[in-house]
């Protein structure tokens, strides 16, 4: 790059240049602010209220050392952080807000490149959305998964075992006392969830998109190699500025198709669909639900991790890591897609042996032959819905049964354990009012709890359908992201208890067996299924007025696209 962007702030002898330099000196050497030194922001989502990202200040220090070593000047830039387990009503409500705030701070400040530090579910997507819209040289540092804790000698998958153990309590197979005792064992170390939940999935996605140093995703947070790779990332971003290598050069359509393949190989979270669509929308990349279905078809599930399998993230790293898994299907990746290093992703897939084939299965012995996320359509989801076959029960992938309808998550919680609830194992649980607008924010409640009376009978899975999301750590035969949602006039609002619903994953079909004329009559008299009155102020009002549906990524309509990095006016 012949001209550094930051020089527009620091070069010259006028009053504005004086102000910009003088206020930033604070102990920096004189050479730090001249036109030859790239100014690098470290967009840092560390927060004590985002437990999985609490260690990122230490990671940022390692990045800083690499930036200094390579001749750049690093700046810690704390940005909006979202703790999936902590914020109410759902972190997804603020993903777009975080992306918008990060975008504006990257554009407004005198920086030439940015290192993106994320971990917990929404932080990497928000960082990538922001970086895509500004399009300054950028690279991701994933914070890494935690080490595996054990309870009474059994490994615990955080998230997945919370769902499993809580259902065992409700079904009478585990005491409340033992459930509470397991709490202190669930989170063993710093880092994000150790299952292939959304946090791990988005680290894999960032690597498959080419936005990390290859081999970074999946390194456990306490592992010294994470700090070493963070240092190398600091060095790399300085080179990326010199080469003018930007997110739009890396995250091409081919890179997104590679990410879809990677999600299937590792058994990744359904939330990746929403985030990839949103990131693509910021770049103007043509990506649709059909791409997930077409590209994911026939891709085998090779990574034997919870919730789709048996092991956990530190096992994956021990077995060879993410690159070893992706190398098993090297021919499925688009060879033209490059990484932040400038080299194609496929070049980094050579010489990555598997050290434990029980964790990373051989290509000819997959956990599932066809593991891609399936996109369903029909009169119940004309704009699409999704299901993760790898987390579902095979016998339920083709199922027909009567609906049991809940109008909100509060309605479900009030009635699901009612002994008089008319429900059987063949019933289809339907939850509405939990989409982007209806909740608002599209919470992770799609993996509805099963009725207690069925749990006591030994039932552990049922077909469940909603306009909500599901935690990446969850499992079950769960249809998600029904579009349009009930609150946006979708057919989900018209379902009545007792209606027959057919799910046929092989045929990609989701059908409400009610005549069109009857649905039209219901539509004419349908009341809103929103559980709350529309918000009147603040971010929630802005969100509800402008949020898009699940089939396009749940971004805000006015945030789709980019504005670049140019600032035309001076502040003084």
Quick: pLDDT tens for 156-186: 998 888 888 888 888 888 899 999 999 999 9
Q: How far apart are CA 172 and CA 480, in angstroms?
A: 28
Q: How far apart are the first and last CA of the chain?
A: 27
Pick the CATH number of 38-148+188-349 from 3.40.50.2300, 3.40.30.10, 3.90.1150.10, 3.40.50.1820: 3.40.50.2300
Tokens of 248: 């739009």
Whether pLDDT at 527 is above 60? no
Q: How far apart are CA 349 and CA 210, in angstroms?
A: 12
Helix (H, G, I), strand (E, B) or coil at 312: coil
For the segment 527-544, the average pLDDT, to the nearest whole number, is 76
**What is the value of pTM for the model shown?**
0.96
Mean pLDDT of the chain: 95
| Residues 350-368: b if buried by 16+ CB within 10 A, e if exposed | eebebeeeebbbeeeebbb
Asked if 250 and 283 touch (Cβ cutoff 8 Å), the reply is no
Q: How far apart are CA 144 and CA 50, in angstroms?
A: 14
Domain boundaries, the chain: 38-148+188-349, 149-186, 374-532
Pick the CATH number of 374-532 from 3.50.50.60, 3.90.850.10, 3.50.30.80, 3.40.50.970: 3.50.30.80
Q: pLDDT band at 39, cuts 50/70/90?
A: very high
Beta bridge partners of 504: 398, 509
φ/ψ (deg, to 5) at 544 = -65, -35
Quick: pLDDT tens for 442-471: 999 999 999 999 999 999 999 999 999 998
Q: pLDDT band at 529, cuts 50/70/90?
A: very low
At residue 532, the pLDDT reads 53
At residue 530, the pLDDT reads 42
DSSP one-letter string for 521-533: HHHHHPPP--SSP
For the segment 94-114, the average pLDDT, to the nearest whole number, is 98
In angstroms, the Cα distances linking 528 to 264, 404, 437, 558 are 36, 18, 12, 25
Dihedral class, residue 34 (left if φ above 0, else alpha if ψ from -120 to 50, else beta)? beta
For the segment 81-94, the average pLDDT, to the nearest whole number, is 95
For the chain, the farthest-separated pair of C-alpha atoms sits apart, in whole angstroms, at 80
Quick: pLDDT tens for 272-291: 999 999 999 999 999 999 99
Dihedral class, residue 18 (left if φ above 0, else alpha if ψ from -120 to 50, else beta)? alpha
């Amino acid at each position: 790059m012949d001209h550094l962007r930051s020089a527009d702030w620091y070069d010259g002898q006028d009053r504005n240049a004086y102000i910009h330099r003088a206020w930033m000196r604070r102990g920096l050497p004189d050479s730090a602010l001249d036109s030859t030194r790239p100014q690098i922001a470290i967009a840092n989502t560390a927060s004590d209220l985002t437990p999985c990202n609490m260690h990122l200040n230490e990671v940022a220090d390692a990045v800083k050392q690499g930036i200094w070593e390579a001749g750049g000047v690093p700046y810690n830039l704390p940005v909006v952080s979202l703790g999936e387990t902590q914020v109410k009503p759902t972190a997804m409500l603020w993903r777009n807000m975080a992306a918008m705030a990060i975008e504006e701070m990257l554009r407004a400040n005198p920086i030439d490149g940015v290192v993106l530090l994320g971990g917990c579910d929404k932080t990497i997507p928000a960082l990538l959305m922001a970086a895509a819209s500004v399009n300054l040289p950028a690279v991701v540092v994933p914070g890494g998964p935690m080490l595996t804790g054990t309870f009474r000698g059994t490994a615990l998958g955080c998230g997945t075992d919370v769902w499993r153990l809580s259902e065992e309590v409700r079904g009478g197979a585990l005491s409340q006392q033992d459930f509470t005792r397991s709490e202190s064992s669930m989170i063993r170390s710093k880092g994000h969830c150790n299952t292939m939940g959304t946090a791990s999935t988005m680290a894999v996605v960032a690597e498959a998109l080419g936005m990390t140093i290859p081999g970074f995703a999946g390194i456990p947070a306490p592992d010294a190699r994470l700090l070493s790779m963070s240092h190398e990332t600091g060095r790399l971003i300085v080179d990326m500025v010199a080469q003018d290598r930007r997110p739009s050069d890396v995250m091409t359509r081919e890179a997104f198709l590679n990410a879809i393949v990677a999600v299937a190989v590792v058994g990744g979270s359904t939330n990746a669909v929403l985030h990839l669509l949103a990131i693509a929308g910021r770049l103007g990349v043509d990506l649709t639900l059909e791409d997930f279905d077409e590209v994911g078809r026939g891709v085998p599930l090779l990574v034997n991790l919870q919730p789709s399998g048996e092991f956990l993230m530190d096992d994956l790293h021990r077995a060879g890591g993410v690159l070893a898994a992706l190398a098993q299907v090297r021919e499925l990746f688009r060879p033209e897609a490059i990484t932040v290093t400038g080299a194609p992703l496929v070049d980094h897939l050579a010489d990555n042996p598997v050290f434990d084939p029980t964790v990373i299965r051989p290509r000819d012995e997959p956990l599932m032959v066809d593991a891609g996320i399936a996109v369903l359509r029909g009169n119940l989801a004309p704009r699409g819905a999704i299901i993760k076959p790898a987390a579902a029960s095979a016998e339920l992938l083709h199922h027909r049964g009567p609906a049991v309808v809940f109008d909100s998550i509060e309605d479900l919680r009030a009635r699901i354990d009612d002994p008089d609830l008319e429900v059987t194992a063949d019933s289809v649980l339907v939850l509405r009012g939990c989409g982007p607008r209806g909740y608002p924010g599209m919470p992770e409640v799609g993996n509805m709890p099963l009725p207690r009376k069925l749990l006591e009978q030994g039932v552990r899975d049922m077909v469940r359908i909603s306009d909500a999301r599901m935690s990446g750590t969850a499992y079950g035969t769960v249809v998600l992201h029904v579009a349009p949602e009930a609150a946006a006039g979708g057919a989900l609002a018209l379902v009545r208890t007792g209606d027959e619903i057919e799910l046929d994953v092989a045929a990609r079909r989701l059908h409400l067996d009610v005549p069109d004329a009857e649905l039209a009559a219901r539509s004419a008299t349908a009341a809103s299924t929103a559980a709350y009155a529309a918000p009147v102020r603040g971010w929630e009002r802005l969100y509800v007025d402008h949020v898009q549906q699940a089939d396009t990524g749940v971004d805000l309509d006015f945030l789709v696209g980019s504005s670049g990095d140019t600032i035309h006016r001076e502040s003084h």
